[in-house]
Structure 1
Amino acid sequence: MTDTDASSPDTIRPIAVIGPTATGKSDLGLDLAESLGGEIVNIDAMQQYRGMDIGTAKLTVDERRGIPHHRLDVLDVTETATVARYQEAAVRDVENIIARGKVPVIVGGSMMYVQSLLDEWAFPATDPLVRARWEQVLADGGTDAVRAALVVRDPAAAAAILPTDGRRMVRALEVVEITGLPFAASAPRIGEPRWGTVLLGVDRETAELDERIARRTETMFDGGLVDEVRALLEVGLKGGVTASRAIGYAQVLDYFDGGSDLDHARERTFIGTRRYVRRQRSWFRRDPRVRWLDGGDPSLLESARAALSA
């Protein structure tokens, strides 16, 4: 890969800039794309939603430096974001970028999205009747009911999935019922990443990252998150299965419903983000292919370029 020049498609290796929220992935992705003649492929699930800008820290058009960005603003908030749907579209985007002689720079931190794209995750079939039955259990009995069912049918899956993630537990129950196998049997195996992608992980010291999350939360609320959520209510946010559960948006919706005051919504957004960051760190640190970088490094781009050559 050479600076700013198009390369032969046969020699191009995509770059994935991944890691926890608020570590500086977006800036590094832009720097790499600018220096290598690349295009950005978003791999943040919630940044796919039109109108969800402030609460997802989505780069504005001006902040994108004229670099093409893919998989941004491709869903309405009433649509359900799925890993399988993302995978199909993002594979097409990456391969089109390569065919144009450009470097795909995949940027974001949605854990299963990263694995689905780079490890060629083959998803089990779905059965609408089975899915509907477990969704009804969730609707009638809440997350406790589906978790109790999952504990009986697949204890390992019940232990691995957050007890608040009802949608994920429903999917696990569906897969177990359809395949007769544990949910983990359908997970991808870590091997050579698709297209020979180089994985760069960006992280920071925990205390520093917590401070950045706190500042980011304040910036979002001070910068109009409440008004953004109010506007999205007019286009169906509350009925969206995935969009309405995004960190920040869910807390503001609860505030609108009288479940908390605004200060409490801010605090819960910070706590939810911090908890999510811990999960991201644990997930990505298990992947031995990731070349880790310090997001606070003043020479981060140079360090990233060196890691690409290692």
Structure 2
Amino acid sequence: MNDHDPPAVPARRPRPADPADRPARLAVGVVGAGRVGAPLAAALTLAGHHVVAASGVSDASRRRAEELLPGVPLTTPQDVIARSDLALLTVPDDALPDLVAGLAATGALKPGQLLVHTSGRFGVSVLDEAARAGALPLALHPVMTFTGTAVDVQRLVGCSFGVTAPEVLRPVAEALVVEMGGEPEWIDESARPLYHVALANGANHLVTLVAQSRDLLAAAGVRAPDRMLGPLLGAALDNALRAGDLALTGPVARGDAGTVAAHVSELRRVAPQALAAYIAMARLTADRALTAGLLKPEAAEALLDVLAEGGA
């Protein structure tokens, strides 16, 4: 194998029950032992790789490393890179370009070294400086929210990963994902921003909407908002994933302008900070219901008039 050949990664196969049944193959380093880095490194350990070093400056990062990567030394990012065949860059999106530039400028990177980032936003172009130094760039984004605990390792089983890599490294990238228990989904470099906004819009805004609904139910005197919302939201999510817009229900999809007007009035009185979001989502819901043929144009007109007045 010359300096620029990718390290050999075995073909896809199930994990053995005992990691000792499989010898370690790659020395893995983690730059940023945060909520994502530590669980991914733990998953690679289960696959038979050997985590040799990690970096992390916060107390939380150190605790995660102690829990999920026992015995792994915490050191500098440069030292992590020096020790590893495969380096995981699991830092916030905005910090990634500067980290890569710094590693390339200091000469820390080694030809033939796998350099993996987990950002959803970026493809492999963010690793261009590292690639020019001989590193082998991979973007492996796990489509999951992380707690930074051992439960994340189990949640990786069946989790989709957005994978972007040079074509020659595609088998390596996909095999690593499978070894962590995930399912690789190929994302073109040019599609990464759209891919990421789709995920953030769904997952992050879902949390905001659910938390807001809990607050409003509590204000209405409901003693267990979570118990009330759980079955409803679980069914709504399942229906939406199965049927898309055809799963829309409620006053907006039905064109009940009077009910929506009452909602607007109550939110203005009780939770004005939630009103703008309600109006924006109601307008988007009306548009999609119209397109899907669920909402009649004449009903939509009255509904949109109410929303326009409510947002004035």
Greater Cα radius of gyration, structure 1 or 2: 2
TM-score per shorter chain, which class?
Answer: under 0.3
TM-score (normalizing by structure 2): 0.28
TM-score (normalizing by structure 1): 0.28
